[in-house]
Amino acid sequence: MASSINVLSQEQMKINPELQKERNKASFNVQELISILDGGPKRTKRRKELEQLLFTDPVFTNPDRHFMSKSELYEHGVEKSVRLFQLKRKYQWSEDDYTLAERLLRKEISLSLHHTMFIPALERLATDEQKAKWLPLANSCRILGAYAQTELGHGTNILALETTATFNQATDEFILRTPHITSMKWWPGGLGKSCTHAIVLAQLIIHGKNYGLHPFLVQIRSLEDHSSLRGITVGDIGPKLAINTVDNGFLKFHNHHIPRDHMLMRNAKVSRDGKFVSEGNSKANYATMILVRVNMTEWAANILSGSVTIAMRYSCIRRQSSLKQGVEEELVINYQSQQYKLFPALASAYALLFTSRELHQYYDRVYPQITKGNYRQLGELHSQSSALKAMCGELAVYHAEICRRACGGHGYLWSAGIGEAVAGCNTIITAEGENTVLYQQTARYLMKQVASVVSGQEVGGYTAYLNTDNIYTNPINTSQHCRDLNILAGIYQNMAASVIKKTAHKLHHDMSSGLEQHVAWNNNMINLVKAAQVHSHLSTVLAFITSLDNLISSQPIKSALTLLCQFYAIYGITNNSGDFIETSSISVYQLELLRAEEIKLLSEIRPDAVALVDAFDIHDETHGSVLGKYDGNVYHHLYQSALREPLNKTDVSITGNVTFCILV
């Protein structure tokens, strides 16, 4: 069995009896759910093998990470990256293995973007000839790459990037220039200190004419001694809220020359005599960015499941106050308000895991078609991945932060592990398309779908619910109705359809009254964003519901997760009740029924609280939290961690002199 192959087995430690009691209450077999979530027992086994390999290696188990300065974090992150590359080669890991290993290390390595952005971009942007030359170098890390798109002055508006690559026919070269301070590359991960090469997005200028943005492979640093090349100024942009293992960088070009064949020419070519020929289809690049967003939903799900694991275990050993004088202090998980903090987080973690998995499968279905030149589903894939990247990021940060606060004072310690996770997860909200901007992309798609429906065309896929007309009366009248997932789904669909159609109607009305399209769009922007949000929220509810049937065969597990799914759906209604009442999707009376049911569900979920987080089976080294370890010996771990604090290396930190100097 799983535990036998893991020498570091979490199960073998001395377990806090409070946690053991919780575990004994589980209504289902936790190992079975672990397997389901991993995607089968083989994958569980493989994960445990990797955990054993990584977490017996001192490079990956540094307990002093919390105390490192940014420079130390970077250096340590490089060391981890190097070891990871070595292991990959030594054990001939598959891509899946490597991705899993990165996840187990919470992506806390420095050179991850070489693997997750540079190589994929090279694969999609280079010609076959260029690939033959560069990919072997990249895959064996003889060159290290960054993907340099964003500039100081432009992130969202890619088309307005200012870096130029001017063709010089005389020397058969491109000359790269950074015309203004705002044109400096700024943000690319790995660019600051690590990379030897970067794919640089720049405006292509030939004989004075601008041919738009194109990618160029530019060497940044020497392969001999890693010094930066002449004509290039490069460095790190400074401390960030988190992910300080990665050297996000800036880059300036001072008339830097590169050979013509360093333009990545899969989609467009420049010939020796300066002729520009567009080839291939740029939409295929698009699909790469979509993949990154799909991956981000998984990251969000992982962060949230980690955070709720920590807070749930801690709440099941922390006793504080008594409800009644004179009796033993209560476990804080037994306070209703504490359950109302953690169970929504737990339910959301499952919702996000299932949503992310479904989105991944959808991507895997559509992407091969796109590479074959069939773009029919690209619009919807773009819409879904944008909205869900945004929504999953926001939900994860929101609930993980509640988990942090639910740990009281100790949750404010870095060693609690949640603060850093939340700060890291905040990246998802901003990077790879700022959320408000992405929601608008989805809104554009939704408006188009409504237009189709209005014009009498039926729409399919993720927006099929827009086909039905708005007149809807939900039948909720009893407690049982409140648990009916079909009814709950119907309520969400009705609400979302109403909000979206109302927005479309208003937009249409404003334009009919003479407003220019862009003015009307801006005047309705709040509602357009809202439309995309309710659509994405609905998508998560539906993903949870369908996953119950698709993934789970064990009846006890299905029962436990059904409670969680009901709770997720009801909580989403009671906490956004205005949206549902305003759209007549529920009545005030029905809302009361739902609230009563929500409270009943708290106590039904309660016995499985710990089992349901144990099922995420996150290794102690992965979540790196003194509060959330499998053994639950919280106070011991808190104290051990404090003893390592560098200030405690010496007894005296301020000398008598200081005190004396205040005095005189």
d(CA 513, CA 455): 20
Distance from C-alpha of 138 to C-alpha of 115, rounded to nearest angstrom: 9
Distance of closest approach, residue 40 Cβ to ligand FAD, in angstroms: 33
Residue 664 buriedness (CB in 10 A; 0-12 / 13-18 / 19+)? exposed
| Contact flag: residue 225 with a second copy (CB under 8 A) | yes
Nearer to a second copy, 27 or 334 (CB): 334
Q: What is the DSSP letter of 117?
A: I
Per-residue interface string for the shown chain with a second copy, residues 246-265, x marking contact by CB under 8 A = -x--x---------------
Instruction: For residue 167, give Cα distances in angstroms to 44, 134, 215, 231, 253.
Output: 53, 22, 14, 17, 15
- Among ligand FAD, a second copy, none, the one that 653 touches (CB under a kind-dependent 5 to 8 A) is a second copy
Q: For residues 461 and 449, is the Cβ–Cβ distance under 8 A?
A: no
Q: Does 189 appear as a known binding residue?
A: yes
Considering only 409, 513, 553, 555, the residue that binds a second copy (CB under 8 A) is 409
What's the min distance (Å) between Cβ of 311 and ligand FAD?
A: 9
Q: Does 320 bind ligand FAD (CB under 6 A)?
A: yes
Choice from 50, 332, 476, 528 touching ligand FAD (CB under 6 A): 332
Q: Which is nearer to a second copy, 386 or 426 (CB)?
A: 426
Decide if residue 1 touches a second copy (CB under 8 A).
no
The 32-71 site mask, x for binding a second copy (CB under 8 A), equals ----------------------------------xx-xxx
Q: At how many degrees (to 10) do helices 555-574 and 30-38 cross?
A: 70
8 A C-beta contact, residue 294 and residue 385: yes
Q: Does 219 interact with a second copy (rule: CB under 8 A)?
A: no
Work out what residue 645 binds among a second copy, ligand FAD, none; the CB cut-off runs from 5 to 8 Å by kind.
a second copy
Q: Measured between alpha carbons, how far apart are the two ends of the chain, in Å?
A: 70
Which one of 132, 223, 451, 454 is in contact with a second copy (CB under 8 A)? 223
Interacting positions 526-545 with a second copy (CB under 8 A):
526, 529
Residue 236 within binding range of a second copy, rule CB under 8 A: yes
- Choose from a second copy, ligand FAD, none: what does 29 bind? Cβ within 5-8 Å by kind: none
Pairing relationship of beta strands 164-168 and 197-206 according to DSSP bridges: parallel
Binders of ligand FAD among 108-167, rule CB under 6 A? 113, 147-150, 155-156
Integer Cα distance of 508 and 530 in angstroms: 17
Which of ligand FAD, a second copy, none has residue 188 at its interface (CB below 5 to 8 Å by kind)?
A: ligand FAD
Residue 467 · residue 414 · CB < 8 Å: no
Q: Which of residues 289-318 bind ligand FAD (CB under 6 A)?
A: 318
CA distances from 433 to 158, 260, 427 (A): 10, 31, 10
363 within 8 A of 381, measured Cβ to Cβ: yes
Q: Which CB atom, from 208 or from 409, has the smaller least distance to a second copy? A: 409
Which residues within the stretch 172-211 sit at the binding site for ligand FAD (CB under 6 A)? 187-189
Site for ligand FAD (CB under 6 A): how many residues? Answer: 31
Please name which of 427, 421, 403 lies closest in space to residue 303, comparing C-alpha atoms. Answer: 421
Tokens of 142: 């003889």
Per CB under 8 A, which region of 99-107, 256-264, 289-297, 642-650 contacts a second copy? 642-650
Mark 208-247 with x for binding to ligand FAD (rule: CB under 6 A) and - for no binding.
Answer: -----------------------------------x----
Coil, helix or strand for 297?
helix
329 binds, among ligand FAD, a second copy, none (CB under 5 to 8 A by kind): a second copy
**Closest distance between a second copy and the C-beta of residue 248, in Å?**
9
- The amino acid sitting at 184 is M
Is residue 432 annotated as part of the catalytic site, yes or no?
Answer: yes
189 interacts with, out of a second copy, ligand FAD, none, CB within 5 to 8 A per kind: ligand FAD
Q: What distance in Å separates the CA atoms of residue 189 and residue 434, rounded to the nearest whole number?
A: 17
Of ligand FAD, a second copy, none, which one sits near residue 326, judging by CB under 5 to 8 A according to partner kind? none
CA–CA distance, 571 with 441 (Å, rounded to integer): 27
| Cβ-contact 34, 617 below 8 angstroms | yes
Quickly list DSSP for 391-402.
HHHHHHHHHHHH
- Amino acid in the structure at residue 490: G
150 known ligand binder = yes
Q: Where in 452-511 is the site for a second copy (CB under 8 A)? A: none
Residue-wise DSSP of 495-533 = HHHHHHHHHHHHHHHHHHTT--HHHHHHHTHHHHHHHHH
Cβ closest to ligand FAD, residue 107 vs residue 269: 107
How many beta carbons lie within 10 A of that of residue 382, not counting itself? 22
Structure tokens at 209: 């004419």
Residues that bind ligand FAD (CB under 6 A): 113, 147-150, 155-156, 187-189, 243, 248, 318, 320-321, 332, 335, 337-338, 406, 408-409, 412, 427, 430-434, 436-437
Residues of each annotated binding site: 150, 189
Enumerate the active-site residues.
432
Residues of each annotated binding site for FAD: 150, 189
